[in-house]
A and B are shown apart, each in its own frame.
Chain A
């Protein structure tokens, strides 16, 4: 958390040209006209969520469950508005049903940002086990996914993946690794 916290507080309200991971994500969403961003919060995602709320371009709000957020952005896509869902690993673990029965068969370009818990210093055994279910679920549906570890690769991966999702009408999961975000560590 130390690293993530350093990134969160002072920079949370910085301008959009900011080259933090969350600044890049926000700008990439905007450039791709993704204006609807429901989320179930995560500590690591806090600066991104704060800045999305601060920017009138975005309609961003918490949902009670991640699959609810998937339903919302799926409906919005069909209505002509682009969205993305923010969640943490344990939230992704609740999505197998909606991925397999809505996003994939109806060919909806569902864009997911997943803050990765459960690895590289995880302190909660449950989180580390949940994390191990994520990639097998993605792979079982042959879903595109990338684990982003480097700041210098983030914009390329996120921008290209969003464009690919839209043009191929297929979901994508962008996994934000602790190497990128700092993650969450035991002392907080």
Chain B
């Protein structure tokens, strides 16, 4: 496989726009885990929901955290939003998810090929590796690139009723996130647990 990764037929989309489209589709208190940095900034900016969890560190763990939620609440759909740079830190997690096959887990990778937040340096994968091919090779057969916004929404709809975990990769531009998450980890965790029905507020 030696595809020309710089001339793909996937449209370059925008993280905030795609995240907003996802959130607009959620009608059943689906959980959403936002990975470190711009990924959770745009999740925050798309409008806080009690079922959102925002990571303030531990780069690469959005999918494992979402897997844990999915295993704890198999009747709830769980989305994880992760950047390509973050995913590269924890590629092994794809195989763990493929082995466990939680059908309620939907992984979305925002791929701009750069570490935008640190100064837009290219990732080592930027021009040589294909995230969907990596996911498929890790055992996640239900993995696809979104061709454009409409295709992204279609893939999300499909994933909502899929019988296996889904991974949707989105090629995005180099824009920073449009908001900044309030960095209060205890409140983030507590509100999330309220949102998932695990706890009641005091």
A residues apposed to B, CB below 8 Å: 36, 38, 59, 61-65, 67-81, 83, 97-98, 100-102, 105-108
Using Cβ atoms and an 8 Å threshold, which residues of chain B touch A73? 68
- The CA-CA distance from A64 to B92 in the complex, in Å, is 5
B75–chain A nearest beta-carbon distance, Å: 11
Known: A36-B72, A64-B95, A75-B68. 15 other contacts (CB 8 A): A38-B96, A64-B92, A65-B92, A67-B61, A67-B64, A71-B58, A71-B64, A72-B71, A74-B65, A74-B68, A75-B71, A78-B53, A79-B76, A98-B57, A107-B185
Q: A65-B92, A75-B33, A97-B58 are in contact. Are A80 and B72 (CB under 8 A)?
A: yes
- The CA-CA distance from A97 to B59 in the complex, in Å, is 9
- The CA-CA distance from A75 to B189 in the complex, in Å, is 10
- The CA-CA distance from A87 to B37 in the complex, in Å, is 29
B72 adjacent to A81 (CB under 8 Å): yes
- The CA-CA distance from A149 to B57 in the complex, in Å, is 34
B198 adjacent to A80 (CB under 8 Å): yes
Q: Is B172 an interface residue (CB 8 A)?
A: no
Q: Is B99 an interface residue (CB 8 A)?
A: yes
A101–chain B nearest beta-carbon distance, Å: 2
A107 adjacent to B61 (CB under 8 Å): no
Give 19 pairs: A residue, B residue, CB < 8 Å, sorted on A. A63-B92, A63-B93, A67-B58, A69-B64, A71-B58, A71-B68, A71-B93, A76-B68, A76-B71, A78-B68, A78-B189, A78-B198, A80-B193, A80-B196, A81-B73, A102-B57, A105-B56, A106-B189, A107-B186
Q: A74-B65, A108-B189 are in contact. Are A59 and B71 (CB under 8 A)?
A: yes
- The CA-CA distance from A69 to B61 in the complex, in Å, is 9
Q: Using a Cβ cutoff of 8 Å, how many contacts connect chains A and B?
A: 126
Query: What band does the interface of chain B fall in when counting residues whose beta carbon is under 8 Å from A?
Result: 35 or more
A65 adjacent to B90 (CB under 8 Å): yes
B78–chain A nearest beta-carbon distance, Å: 8
A75 adjacent to B65 (CB under 8 Å): yes
B92 adjacent to A68 (CB under 8 Å): yes
B202–chain A nearest beta-carbon distance, Å: 14
Closest to B190 in A: A107
Main secondary structure of the interface of B (DSSP, over half): helix
Q: Is B67 an interface residue (CB 8 A)?
A: yes
A76 adjacent to B72 (CB under 8 Å): yes
B134–chain A nearest beta-carbon distance, Å: 13
Using Cβ atoms and an 8 Å threshold, which residues of chain B touch A38? 96
Bits for B166-202, please: 1 = Cβ < 8 Å to A, else 0.
Answer: 0000000000000000000110110011001110000
Using Cβ atoms and an 8 Å threshold, which residues of chain A touch B46? none
A79 adjacent to B196 (CB under 8 Å): yes
A68 adjacent to B61 (CB under 8 Å): yes
Using Cβ atoms and an 8 Å threshold, which residues of chain A touch B57? 97-98, 100-102, 105
- The CA-CA distance from A38 to B64 in the complex, in Å, is 11
* Candidate in B53, B61, B76, B92 with the most chain A CB atoms within 10 angstroms: B61
Q: A61-B99, A68-B96, A108-B189 are in contact. Are A79 and B73 (CB under 8 A)?
A: yes
B90 adjacent to A68 (CB under 8 Å): yes
B93 adjacent to A68 (CB under 8 Å): yes
B185–chain A nearest beta-carbon distance, Å: 4
Closest to B99 in A: A61
